[in-house]
Amino acid sequence: MTETTNLYIDGEWVPAEDGSTFAVENPADTTETVTEYAKGSTEDAQKGIDAANEAQADWEGMPAPDRGTILRETAKLLEERKEDLTEQLSREEGKTLSEASPEVQRAIDIFYYYAEKAADNAGTRKGPSGGRTSVYTKREALGVAGLVTPWNYPIAIPAWKIAPALATGNTIVLKPASAAPGPAASIVQALEDAGIPDGVINFVPGSGSDVGAELTSNDGIDAVSFTGSSEVGHHVYDAATDNMARAQAEMGGKNPAIITDSADVEEAVDIVGAGAFGVTGQACTACSRAIVHTDVYDEFVEGIVEYAESIDIGPGVEDLGMGPHVTQSELESTLEYVDVAANEGATHETGGERLEGDEYDDGYYVSPAVFSDVERDMRIFQEEVFGPVLAVTEVDDFEEAIEASNDSDFGLSSSVVTDDLNEAHEFIERTEAGVAKVNEKTTGLELHVPFGGKKDSSTNTYREQGDAGLDFFTEIKTVYLNT
């Protein structure tokens, strides 16, 4: 019988109020149920919000170094459990072990980082206009944060929301995505074991229409941080801000890589291939458009096709080159876009087929796809696929490449592969993206730098990670002290 992971509300692991549960299957082998989870309802979300409000004043009143001590102990516990967490992530989400392990390490590092930053959340001192007055600012917690996290980075993204929220004195109600909630539950377990007070963090998986809607509309929520699709993100942001909560939403991407005529094509293939097909293309920063100078176009297409066809595909725990999609619906969406691209007239170079036979029959496997001769008005050029599908577009010069790369409603991450320093600087100045990379893949970002997008990739209110993560979860009070 599969063990059930309960909700965590006010310091206790409890079943859902109505007894509902849901099962998470292994996307590499859907005959295996990984874990069963209690499915929270609106009422459960309300209980979590009430508990977080009850605990907030005492948590914020705790000396910041003491909050940091709990985060540091959490990091240590996650580190001790890294091997099990890596396997859990792989079995629920589908990532290869080589992809899951660095993600777990990222979560560990984030908790260590914010453990130190907890004591470094002071304001600034300003010069007074006269007299014996001291003028300074101090940072204060917003209150209760509703965190809504996705399935594609099921431990890293919860970590980079939870840790700064806690470091700055906020309490939390967390709703993870139902496709892979286990790694987030493991963070909560580590926090409990590290001694976090009751009510400071509450874990309520459930549907967006019930738990998610309550987190964005309840008067007891002071901040909402969301990562997910653009469609849902806009709804979350509108609902939260209508309720006067501070909100941020990081959403989709259609991330380009420009390959100039000065680029080392072999290097460009490796950079684009890793960005396009890593984590099965299930990343908001995945490279989905390669915009290639005509002088190196044929060589690049040949190279990237060879790269895609060389990837070994199989269960994440077998640690091959690429794992499955996370769900049937995600697989079907990718297959649909493959059909759309072919029907629009793009040249189908390779891949985009559901894999069948032997171990593939019970999993959500697709071969990495490459389309060439992609025009800018095609859906495959404009719309986010969220799968291992690369659209390759030919351009005549650098100016056309910049224009094509910016021809998108999204603006999350972009890159250029070039040996020309002037082109690199021009790209940095003109790319319409929140993250600009030179001779690097579009995916991946260090934990201490701000992360966020432009256009439809982000509400562009606050960035995440680093000091920007602290900014979102705090408000500034200006103090005049006349002695």
Q: What are the catalytic residues?
A: 250
CB within 8 Å of 126: residues ≥ 6 apart: 135, 136, 137
Tokens standing for residue 442: 């579009």
Cα(137)–Cα(121) distance, integer angstroms: 11
Question: What is the Rg, in whole angstroms, of the alpha carbon atoms belonging to the chain?
Answer: 23
Tell me how crowded residue 219 is: count the other CB atoms within 10 A of its CB: 10
Distance CA(457)–CA(277), nearest Å, equals: 20
Tokens of 70: 């709990």
Q: What residues contact residue 117 under an 8 Å CB cut-off, 6+ apart?
A: 68, 164, 167, 467, 470
Nearest-angstrom CA–CA distance, 119 and 37: 36
Is residue 461 within 8 A of residue 248, CB to CB? The reply is yes
Q: Which residues pair with 291 in a beta bridge?
A: 258, 393
CA pair distance 53, 325, nearest whole angstrom? 38
Q: Phi then psi for 134, rounded to 5 degrees?
A: -100, 135
Give the Cβ contact number of residue 410 at 10 Å. Answer: 26
**To 5 degrees, how large is the angle CA 360–CA 363–CA 365?**
70
The strand order across the sheet containing 255-259 reads 347-350, 369-372, 389-395, 287-293, 255-259, 413-417, 435-438
**Would you state the structure tokens that stand for residue 285, as one six-digit string?**
């920063």
Amino acid at 465: Q
Which amino acid is located at 415 in the chain? S
- Helix, strand or coil for residue 437? strand
For residue 310, the SS3 value is coil
Residue type, 114: Y
Helix/strand/coil for 42: helix
Q: Quick one: CA dihedral 450, 451, 457, 462, positive or negative?
A: negative
Residue type present at position 249: A
Separation CA 267–CA 311 (nearest Å): 17
H or E segment to which residue 392 belongs: strand 389-395
Return the closest-CA partner of residue 471 out of 123, 184, 171, 113. 123
Q: How many CB atoms lie within 10 A of CB 93?
A: 33
